[in-house]
Amino acid sequence: MQRTLRLLAIVAGLCVTTEALAQKYPTRPVKIMVGFSAGGPVDVVARIVGDRLSNKLGQPFVVENRAGANGMIAAEGVARADADGYTILACNSSTITLNKTLFKDARYDPQGDFAPLTTVISAPLVLVVNPENPKTANINTVADLVAAAKAAPGALAYGSGGNGNLAHLAMELLSQKAGIKLIHVPYRGGAASEVGILAQEVLAVFDPLSAVPLVKAGKLRALAVSSAERLPALPDVPTVAEAGYPGFDISFWVGFFMPKAVPAPIRETLHREIVAAARDPALQERLESQGVVSVLSPADYAAKIAKETTDLAEVVAAANIKAE
């Protein structure tokens, strides 16, 4: 009996200590690790949120860029960091849902090493053609594109930002669902693939949101967006699902993670404050320059990650996609 009481006292003491740490947290600067170069979407979102966290929690939240290996260098660093709440990972969807499938030597387990906090922005891809290209001048819908591909199997080329890039997977998923065969032309990044379609080197691209002003200017024609819901910036453009392929849903997102063993009260504090930052009207315009503001509970975020990981692994396997 006395032993049981002692154990209960120890557990109670640990709980009190954890709660006390969370109440005082943070007591020193917090590092936000970003696996991509400064100026990109992940970096921009991390700095916007980090500034707000600094102001609200009274300690600097400092962004550290460790670019390389599609975000894996930063992810590995956070996976190995002390679980004390002073190292956070800001990353994109590929770092969590795709790298483990494409890179067998990835030295972190996305679902085993990290506790998801929340997404902040989500950005669909825009399926576009060049209206000035004679080969796509009459392609106005996804159905038109599929019909053209079926009329010339294996002859039409599309571009992406590289092998295993999310735009590559989106087009492969559409090809699988539609029963068509296209030629993949990998470029060195999304900006280069956008140049490629403008130069009429390829016939179609799943473009990032940089396509929106080009669509509005008439330089590109939008056939569909890759997300489950329409893009507010292009309200008349249907989703791929609406265009005849139910369940099609691929989006780029930026979110935050911590080492899994970080005490729950600290994780809850950061989840609450990051969500508040995402919903802050003063930050909305800056965040919306990177995508649609979208926040999730940790449980919903974990479920989203599990589903996307499985879905993308199936696309990779079916298309026999290999990382460069």
Let me know if residue 233 belongs to a domain.
no
Return mean pLDDT, the chain.
92
pLDDT given for residue 134 in this prediction: 96
Residues 130, 270 share a domain: no
pLDDT given for residue 223 in this prediction: 98
Let me know if residue 33 belongs to a domain.
yes
pLDDT given for residue 2 in this prediction: 61
Residues 309, 297 share a domain: yes
pLDDT mean by block of 10 residues, the chain; 324 residues: 54 51 86 93 96 98 94 96 98 94 92 97 96 97 98 94 91 96 92 94 95 96 96 96 96 97 98 98 93 96 96 94 80
Alpha carbon dihedral 104, 110, 112, 118, in 10-degree steps, equals: -170
Let me know if residue 76 belongs to a domain.
yes
Report yes or no: 61 and 53 within 8 Å, Cβ to Cβ: yes
Alpha carbon of 257 to those of 108, 188, 235: distances in Å? 13, 28, 32
pLDDT given for residue 3 in this prediction: 57
pLDDT given for residue 277 in this prediction: 98
Find the domain containing 65 and state its range: 2-122+252-319
pLDDT given for residue 199 in this prediction: 97
Residues 104, 43 share a domain: yes
**Measured on CA atoms in the order 314, 315, 320, 324, is the torsion positive or negative?**
negative
Taking the mean position of all CA atoms in its chain, how far away is CA 121? 8
Residues 116, 8 share a domain: yes
pLDDT given for residue 16 in this prediction: 47
pLDDT given for residue 204 in this prediction: 98
- At 249, the amino acid letter reads D
Let me know if residue 244 belongs to a domain.
no
Residues 51, 16 share a domain: yes
Find the CATH number of the domain harbouring 284.
3.40.190.150
Can you tell me the distance from the alpha carbon of 218 to that of 114, in angstroms, rounded to the nearest whole number?
Answer: 43
Residues 165, 184 share a domain: yes
Q: Which of 216, 195, 45 is nearest to 123 (CA)?
A: 45
Let me know if residue 80 belongs to a domain.
yes
Taking the mean position of all CA atoms in its chain, how far away is CA 152? 33
pTM to 2 decimal places: 0.85
Residues 134, 110 share a domain: no
Q: For residue 34, what are the β-bridge partners?
A: 65, 90
Residues 146, 109 share a domain: no
User: pLDDT tens digits for 248-275?
Assistant: 999 999 999 999 999 999 999 999 999 9
Find the CATH number of the domain harbouring 210.
3.40.190.10
Residues 132, 100 share a domain: no
Residues 208, 151 share a domain: yes
Alpha carbon of 104 to those of 7, 135, 277, 311: distances in Å? 43, 39, 35, 17
Residues 130, 118 share a domain: no
pLDDT given for residue 306 in this prediction: 96
Residues 301, 155 share a domain: no
Let me know if residue 94 belongs to a domain.
yes
